[in-house]
Amino acid sequence: MIQIEQVTYSYQQTPVLKNVTLHESEPIISAMWGRNGAGKTTLMSLLAGHNRPDVGTIQVMGQDPYNNLAAQENLCYIQENHPLGRNWTINDMVRFGQYFHPQWNQALAEQLIDMFELPVKKKITKFSKGMKTAAQMILGLASNARVTILDEPTNGLDAEKRKYFYNTLLETYEDNPRLILISSHHIEEIQPLCESLIVLQAGEVLFNQPMEEMREKGVLLTGRIEDVNRVTADVKVIESSQMGATLKVMIDEPYSKTWKDIAHTQGLSIEKATLQDYLVNRTRNQEGIKR
């Protein structure tokens, strides 16, 4: 469905992406995570055909998306602050959505407009942040595009509305399997929806793995300083904090029976790190970790 081969891209001579390769051949819901400046938005805009890579190739459903109207029929890219007509109402957005997306689901669009209680006569530019986000989400989900890219789709939505979004996304995916790529800082919220996770760091792909595997990464060990240091002497420590004679560390290891047994034998407490904490620590400068 998408093929990204050795893509490099610079903005005003500043490297943003470096030798990025990603393949997805089957419908899947995939999450994308990275710190600010990691290259997420740039990669999504290249996939959507808004820009052309300096080096490498991109194909969406077998076609180069850049300056290619035929390829755009298979694409829907909803940006965090998606550009919409200044005078558009929600009805205008839906009408234009049908023109650009051959698989448009009008019934779903109307259902979501009602669900989010969006005023149909008010200009979208006058909407609140949450209402604008809901409008963008409707455009993305109702497009039914074979490749749907959503950049921070829940920003501005309250907890109840985010739950509506997640439930609807799963329902529409089950009805019409396709590639849905979601970029979000709320990784703990979206990880139950996603089958895989792509992590970018400094313009490169750090991880592209099944979510099931990513969930198991990161082990927290707590105990006496000498015991923790002895057990972790040969593994990567990515977070460390000390209180008196007690040391707590996060190690870059899978949460497994092996580590549970080690912790039990050495008198250490053991916990599974949250995915968010693991990713934050895994992608930061590790020079400051003290052992």
CA distances from 71 to 14, 58, 248 (A): 28, 11, 51
Question: Each residue of 145-161: pLDDT tens digit?
Answer: 999 999 999 888 888 88
Question: Each residue of 113-141: pLDDT tens digit?
Answer: 998 999 988 999 999 999 999 999 999 99
Q: Which of 195, 187, 248, 198 is nearest to 223 (CA)?
A: 248
Quote the domain boundaries for residue 101. Answer: 2-213
The reply to whether 105 and 163 lie within a common domain is: yes
**pLDDT tens for each residue of the chain, 291 residues long:** 999 999 999 988 899 999 999 999 999 999 999 998 899 999 999 999 999 999 999 999 999 999 998 899 999 999 988 888 889 999 999 999 999 999 999 999 999 999 899 998 899 999 999 999 999 999 999 999 999 999 999 888 888 888 989 999 999 999 999 999 999 888 998 999 999 999 999 999 999 999 999 999 999 999 999 999 999 999 999 999 999 999 999 999 999 999 999 999 999 999 999 999 999 999 986 544 544
Domain boundary among 213, 248, 263: 213
Length of the chain measured in residues:
291
Domain boundary among 213, 244, 266: 213
Residue 94 to residue 97: CA distance in whole angstroms: 5
Q: Which of 38, 33, 65, 39 is nearest to 52 (CA)?
A: 65
CATH at residue 277: 3.30.70.2020
Residue 60 to residue 68: CA distance in whole angstroms: 11
The reply to whether 25 and 164 lie within a common domain is: yes
Alpha helix segments (H runs only) across 122-256: 129-143, 159-175, 187-190, 211-215, 225-231
Task: State pTM to two decimals.
Answer: 0.90
Domain boundary among 188, 213, 238: 213
Given a contact cutoff of 8 angstroms between Cβ atoms, the answer to whether 274 and 237 are in contact is no
The reply to whether 78 and 189 lie within a common domain is: yes
Sequence-distant (≥ 6) Cβ neighbours of residue 264 within 8 angstroms? 270
The reply to whether 114 and 170 lie within a common domain is: yes
The reply to whether 202 and 231 lie within a common domain is: no
Measured in whole angstroms, how far is the alpha carbon of residue 266 from the centre of its chain? 38
Residue 71 to residue 180: CA distance in whole angstroms: 16
The reply to whether 221 and 206 lie within a common domain is: no
Residue 21 to residue 5: CA distance in whole angstroms: 5
The reply to whether 75 and 199 lie within a common domain is: yes
State residue 277's pLDDT score: 96
The reply to whether 260 and 202 lie within a common domain is: no
The reply to whether 259 and 143 lie within a common domain is: no
Count structural domains, the chain.
2
State residue 289's pLDDT score: 52
The reply to whether 241 and 162 lie within a common domain is: no
Helix (H, G, I), strand (E, B) or coil at 88: coil
Given a contact cutoff of 8 angstroms between Cβ atoms, the answer to whether 249 and 228 are in contact is yes
Q: Which of 168, 197, 173 is nearest to 184 (CA)?
A: 197
Residue 85 to residue 176: CA distance in whole angstroms: 28
Residue 251: strand pairing partners = 219, 237
CATH at residue 16: 3.40.50.300
Q: Which of 141, 155, 157 is nearest to 29 (CA)?
A: 141
The Cα diameter of the chain in Å comes to: 68
The reply to whether 239 and 190 lie within a common domain is: no
The reply to whether 122 and 243 lie within a common domain is: no
